[in-house]
Amino acid sequence: MLLENDKAIDFIVSDYLNNQVTLSDYKGKKVLLSFFRGAACPFCNMRVQELINNYHKFEEKGIVIISFFASTKEEINEYAGKQNAPFAIIPDPTFGLYKKYGIEQSSFGILKVMLKPLKMVRMMQSGFFNLKSSKDKPIVPADFLIDENQMILKTYYGKDFGDHMSIEDILNRR
């Protein structure tokens, strides 16, 4: 697992639209790296929607968002990509960056979220519910807020499939 004050791990990858994305290109800016399960995951798509809805706040704070899905480009196009996010969505079906950033898998991630009835109701009513994601690896999401010098300001390893760093914490972190 990576910790606060660790150097962020650089990468050169292509997003699902074939645009090259390199972390070091954002030196001088804050960056939110957000790691998700598969592109069909309803909790993940709810979070993508939340990031889209708050994107103007991230722009005002000068924070760039880069997201990762443990999915192929085709799966992202079919699910998460339909939201037309104004930020990069990176396919990582081989878990290359997931491993480097210490993203964990836990079958308890689904059980923990199922014990949160309000979260489950919101997911069922979100329009993102599908059974495809039940076959995805049990990846627990994680977020990393990186400072202008490419050092990790804040790490957040989720506790369940829908657990992320709060938008307020990201926007107010100095």
* Torsion, CA 106, CA 110, CA 114, CA 119, rounded to 10: 100
Q: To which H or E segment does residue 11 belong?
A: none
Backbone angles phi, psi at 156, to 5 degrees: -145, 105
Output the pTM of the full model: 0.87
Enumerate domains of the chain plus CATH numbers: 30-172 (3.40.30.10)
**What three-state secondary structure class fits 164?**
coil
One pLDDT digit (tens) per residue for the chain, 174 residues: 899 999 999 999 999 999 999 999 999 999 999 999 999 988 899 999 999 999 999 999 999 999 999 999 999 999 888 889 999 999 999 999 999 999 987 665 554 555 555 665 565 566 656 656 656 676 899 999 999 999 999 999 998 878 899 999 999 987
Residue 164 is encoded by which pair of tokens?
């992320």
CB atoms within 10 A of CB 167: 16
